Chain A
């Protein structure tokens, strides 16, 4: 097998953990994220000239949008680094506070509903085939009444999915390549990466670490992690995540009112990611639809992943108000429905049975307990870094702690923490240039691991 293929197979199969490392063909240097064109260059370098010449190539051009992407998706890269570290230090007890992966068992009220549904599928009376692509009606109704009671969002506005990440890309397919978008900086990388893939952006600009044609809305401690909207250019779409991944900041009612007003003035559509809403501890809004006028300018994406530990079960939803219209008056929900019917075929019926149990009274109580557990973890991490004299953000309304390391490269800090404490975190610059100088510590983990990780942090930074 040629050297190219050998490398490909290594990079894709070498994993004992949740993520398969991707793009092993290059190393991401801590100090700069951009690796423009190096991907294909490495492929060429590795091959021997004769293998390169004789390997059959189709005449199909690579999608240039994929070529714009600078590196692998962030979290497989974190996984790769974690795995490499484990391999190098087989006796170390590596603790993962990097990828935001839930660790605690799913409450039995929820799993028993999924078990039951599985068994029912083996009966004549209970077997069901294709479900409605938009989700089972009962679940849609229950999501609407649980999360949007009194907000004018009804069951038919809810589209059940296999998770927020898939929904984000389906929304990008919906919007198409001719729209402009704005994101918070830093932000969850799926918004930017899916935008690049769909052809909405220009090339990556190494000097500023941004893709051309995306409006990055800087969110810092200085501006309360809310952008100065007077400096933000108009874009068609505004991605806004609150409570925020990675900063943990939850936008206030006043801030969201400004955002809605901004969208209204500019005729923009807000894609509001509320996947961490159940972590809100104060009176920050849990849904964009709590803001008057929001239904005419926003849609909302959410997920059961971080509420019920459904990261592997796969269930989420998108809420699109009837009032949301394109410039020609066409309802956005109608086109999204077409996308869902054509590019998707519904979330797994078993996962949906679990979802229905999640939003039962017993299930909601159980989810709050799970969320509460992770919130306690968060508090421990916040206390630890506070006690060490760090400036710490987030951690109140989200399971993420955003720790400031002024003047330092976040990949360097990531490596240092990994090397010296065997704890995996996530470097802030993986979330955008606005994340440089910060490290995200996620609060998902068994209590003893979180406590142990904090003990090690104290050792390192005392």
Chain B
């Protein structure tokens, strides 16, 4: 049956409540028919809702409680600014062309359009020796992470940063790579949690990290905002080489880097033999709803028996997926044109300026806020606190949604993640409210 919760991440209800609600009842009625199919035991291991639907639910509950409050969402990292005209019109035109005889297209290549694959390689992996044929276009990083888990299978061990975007852990549990959760710590058995805290520059002590097959590494990091340095990534690649591990490098926020930190794992020599890179148009072009991303699998990446990982990933893409929407791909291509790229980068700059404003706000309040320089996330420290309590207090008193740090792992317990996505006026308003609460 449903497991009870014994640690700080308490969902609002014991049963999940996603953005759209499901009204089901506990099946205590013995006369209600049950199939003889066992529930997948891996699903039973999951302790709570996926983090972000939980935050949505809390926002909805708060809105009901305070119907006149102007809620400002600095919680879920959702883009807010309209698409540039050049991008939107490319998709509008493409959609229209599908109603013409000469323009209509059916199934696309599952790996994505050749043009887009090439444009991605040239835009983001220039001089790194990554070719279009190694780029697989997708409907987003979250989907790719799960497809990578299907690729790897259940007999893998994984390491993750702590704290971290929950999809790596949750997908690992679902695919059967983990044991049960440890009551108290909230950690799943068989996952290696690599503690990343400010005192060690948000990089794990690799000498203390047990070998795992796969190492998930997100940089710039969600939620801490830290962008790993060249030296740090060199160490990571070296560890992967020594251990024969595969790094899954999530670079979804690379375009937010301001200080010259590496934007791709493939800037590190030798990385192509040990790393897969996942990225997304979501935070580059505001495509959170349009759905477009990519995964790079270098040809040099081989399993222990010499079999190229790219061959199996291609098989997964051809069997478990049918390509990203052609319309989204048209938009992606437009966003990488010279005019398009300029326009999406100005959106990125807009969010970066938001982050600067928020950093100043927290600094003026005497709170230590990490991140916000290379990523659209601030990681604010409330020493000695429980992050859900802080989340609740901020929500109650200022009507601002944030995300409690423990949603990203046990190391996040005293932190709150604040996103920099929002209309400028809301960012300024939120700053005012925080000042009045915390001064």
Contact = CB atoms under 8 A, between A and B. Distances in A.
* Chain A interface main SS type: loop
Nearest to B27: A329
A350 B40 contact: no
Interface stretch (B238-246, B349-357, B386-394): B238-246
Q: Which of A118, A333, A349 has the most CB of B within 10 A?
A: A118
A323 interface: yes
A325 interface: yes
* Interface of chain B, main secondary structure: loop
B59 interface: no
Nearest to A173: B174
Most A Cβ at <10 Å: residue of B78, B99, B133, B273 = B99
B93 A62 contact: no
Interface in A289-313: 296-297, 309, 311-313
Contacts of A65: 153
Given A134-B20, A327-B34, A342-B50, A348 B95 contact: no
A60 B213 contact: yes
B82 A127 contact: yes
A322 B246 contact: no
Contacts of A9: 131, 133, 299
A237 interface: yes
Interface in A111-136: 111-112, 114-116, 118-119, 121-124, 126-135
Contacts of A69: 315
A390 interface: no
Contacts of A15: 109
Interface stretch (A49-57, A246-254, A454-462): A49-57
A121 B88 contact: yes
B80 A129 contact: yes
B36 interface: yes
B39 A313 contact: no
B274 interface: yes
A66 interface: yes
A378 interface: no
A437 interface: no
Contact of B35 (A40, A66, A133, A325): A325
A168 B316 CA distance: 13
A18 B108 contact: yes
B139 A342 contact: no
Given A18-B107, A127-B83, A328-B38, A342 B170 contact: yes
Given A194-B320, A198-B150, A341-B50, A124 B107 contact: no
B79 A129 contact: yes
Contacts of B324: 162, 314, 348
Contacts of A40: 305-307
Contacts of B345: none
A37 to B, nearest CB: 11
Interface in B299-345: 299-308, 310-312, 314-316, 318-328, 331
A19 B328 CA distance: 18
Contact of B83 (A12, A56, A121, A323): A121
A119 to B, nearest CB: 5
Nearest to A179: B37
A177 interface: yes
B286 interface: yes
A396 interface: no
B18 A134 contact: yes
B320 A326 contact: no
Contact of A348 (B24, B139, B320): B139
Nearest to A134: B20
Contact of B21 (A131, A156, A314): A156
A312 B106 contact: yes
B107 A101 contact: yes
A61 B157 CA distance: 11
Contact of A268 (B35, B41, B323): B35
Interface in B80-94: 80-85, 87-89, 91-93
Interface string A171-213: 0011111110000000000100110011100000000000000
Contact of A22 (B16, B174, B318): B318
Contacts of A47: 306
Interface string A146-183: 00000000001000001101101100011111110000
Nearest to A109: B99
Interface in A317-334: 322-331, 333-334
A99 interface: yes
A124 B95 contact: no
A5 B320 contact: no
B320 A166 contact: yes
A111 B106 contact: no
Contacts of A333: 22, 24
Interface in A259-312: 263-264, 266-269, 296-297, 309, 311-312
Size bracket, chain B contacts = 35 or more
A64 interface: yes
Contact of A325 (B27, B140, B304): B27
A8 B92 contact: no
Contact of A326 (B24, B32, B39, B100): B39
Contacts of B305: 40, 57, 61-62
B174 A343 contact: yes
A57 B104 contact: no
A102 interface: yes
A173 B343 CA distance: 39
A56 B270 CA distance: 10
A408 B131 CA distance: 43
B37 A267 contact: yes
Contact of A339 (B26, B53, B100, B174): B174
Interface in B206-223: 213-214
Interface in B36-70: 36-43, 46, 49-50, 52-53
A230 interface: no
A107 B96 CA distance: 10
B304 A327 contact: no
Interface stretch (B181-189, B251-259, B288-296, B363-371): B288-296
B306 A165 contact: no
Contacts of A328: 1, 34, 38-39
Nearest to A331: B24
Contacts of A190: 319
B372 interface: no
A305 B107 CA distance: 9
Given A62-B305, A173-B175, A309-B104, A129 B327 contact: no
B98 interface: yes
Contacts of B46: 338
7 contacts: A129-B79, A130-B78, A263-B35, A267-B36, A330-B2, A330-B27, A345-B143
Give the 8 A-B CB pairs with smallest separation, nearest first: A59-B244, A267-B36, A329-B27, A176-B40, A63-B153, A122-B88, A343-B146, A169-B320
Interface of B: 1-2, 15-16, 18-24, 26-28, 32-43, 46, 49-50, 52-53, 76, 78-85, 87-89, 91-93, 95-96, 98-101, 103-111, 114, 131-133, 139-140, 142-143, 145-146, 150-156, 167, 170-171, 174-176, 213-214, 240-241, 243-246, 273-274, 286, 288-291, 299-308, 310-312, 314-316, 318-328, 331, 421
